[in-house]
């Protein structure tokens, strides 16, 4: 798999900053924010013209739902991937709708055998429409379902093996889950196939009333950077991506975060 180094999530609010990262080789865009046909946003088109690999990241397929994925949403994701000439696409192991009701949020899937079957079926339905590989992202969750039959490592590994999908590992999610639900975050690295990692998210969060929230609007904490270094000491992913989704800081602060991810991972800085 191609090694891209450190990347960033492209958002309209920081497109000018991203355009100035001359050494950037990898970026991600929310798939639902891009039209499969017609003109692309100027900043995004500029990245493609420079040869930057841009990956569409879906948030509304509901791969973890009991109902089959909606064909129109899968077709849109596939169309955006072709429009961006993307090397792969990504989505979450989560559900976002049931009975026609949209939750507006990524919700955790019970770690049961039945849920594994549902996820696998929806992943295969999606893969059948895609021209490129699909990477699956486990989400951050504040709780475990009481009827869980598998731990997180076993649940994720079985899904990956049965679908032959790639893994989008969000290091900040690993940290948040361990902090909120108990346990050593690095232990998950021993339970999942690290060789399947397509790329990683790195994001910030904050604690309120004893609960850590994966906000994507705060700076990446030192603990997450330490976890990045731990992961890379075992298996360095092809790309690590800074994920910000609001309350965007100054260019200097974004640069500091990208440089910190580069230092933790051992990849060259993209900011100079």
| Predicted local confidence at residue 173, as pLDDT | 96
- 92 inside domain: yes
- 45 inside domain: yes
Supply angle C-alpha 20, 84, 107, rounded to 5.
95
- Whether the pLDDT of residue 99 is over 80: the answer is no
Q: What is the mean pLDDT of residues 45-62?
A: 97
- Whether the pLDDT of residue 177 is over 80: the answer is yes
User: Which of 7-16, 37-46, 75-84, 167-176 bottoms out in mean pLDDT, i.e. has the lowest?
Assistant: 37-46
Q: How far apart are CA 190 and CA 249, in angstroms?
A: 35
Predicted confidence band of residue 145 (pLDDT cuts 50, 70, 90): confident
Which residue from 160, 153, 143, 225 is spatially nearest to 188, judged by alpha carbons?
153
| Predicted local confidence at residue 3, as pLDDT | 94
Predicted confidence band of residue 171 (pLDDT cuts 50, 70, 90): very high
- 197 inside domain: yes
Question: Which neighbouring-strand residues pair with 95?
Answer: 107
- 225 inside domain: yes
Question: Which neighbouring-strand residues pair with 7?
Answer: 241
Q: Which residue has the higher pLDDT, 144 or 226?
A: 226
| Predicted local confidence at residue 53, as pLDDT | 98
| Predicted local confidence at residue 37, as pLDDT | 85
- Whether the pLDDT of residue 104 is over 80: the answer is no
190-241 pLDDT tens trace: 999 999 999 999 999 888 888 888 889 999 999 999 999 999 999 999 999 9
- 271 inside domain: no
- 272 inside domain: no
| Predicted local confidence at residue 181, as pLDDT | 86
Q: How far apart are CA 247 and CA 218, in angstroms?
A: 8
| Predicted local confidence at residue 141, as pLDDT | 86
The kind and range of the H/E element at 240 are strand 239-242
Instruction: At 35, give phi and psi (nearest 5°).
Output: -80, 140
Q: 0.75 cut: is pTM over it?
A: yes
**Count of domains forming the chain:** 1
Domain span holding position 201: 5-265
Q: Output the six-digit token pair for 191.
A: 């339970």
- Whether the pLDDT of residue 48 is over 90: the answer is yes
Q: What is the mean pLDDT of the chain?
A: 94
- 204 inside domain: yes
Q: Is 46 helix (H, G, I), strand (E, B) or coil?
A: helix
- 121 inside domain: yes
CATH classification of the domain holding 136 = 3.20.20.150
């Amino acid at each position: 798999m191609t090694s891209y180094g450190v990347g960033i999530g492209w958002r309209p609010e920081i497109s000018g900053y991203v355009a100035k990262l001359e050494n950037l080789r990898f970026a991600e865009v929310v798939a639902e924010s891009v039209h499969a046909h017609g003109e692309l946003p100027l900043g995004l088109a500029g990245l493609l013209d420079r040869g930057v690999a841009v990956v569409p990241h879906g948030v509304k397929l509901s791969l973890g739902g009991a109902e089959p994925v909606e064909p129109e949403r899968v077709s849109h994701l596939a169309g955006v991937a072709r429009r961006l000439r993307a090397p792969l696409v990504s989505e979450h192991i989560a559900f976002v709708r049931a009975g026609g009701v949209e939750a507006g949020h990524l919700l955790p899937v019970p770690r049961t055998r039945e849920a594994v079957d549902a996820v696998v079926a929806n992943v295969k339905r999606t893969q059948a429409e895609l021209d490129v590989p699909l990477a699956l992202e486990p989400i951050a969750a504040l709780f475990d379902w009481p009827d869980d039959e598998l731990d997180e490592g076993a649940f994720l590994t079985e899904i990956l093996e049965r679908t032959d999908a790639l893994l989008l590992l969000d290091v900040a999610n690993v940290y948040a889950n361990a902090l909120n639900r108990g346990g050593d975050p690095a232990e998950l690295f021993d339970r999942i196939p690290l060789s399947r990692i397509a790329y990683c998210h790195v994001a910030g969060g904050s604690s309120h009333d004893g609960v850590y929230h994966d906000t994507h609007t705060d700076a990446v904490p030192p603990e997450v950077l330490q976890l990045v270094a731990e992961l890379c000491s075992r298996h360095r992913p092809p790309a690590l991506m800074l994920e910000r989704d609001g309350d965007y800081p100054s260019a200097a602060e974004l640069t500091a975060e990208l440089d910190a991810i580069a230092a933790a991972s051992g990849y060259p800085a993209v900011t100079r």
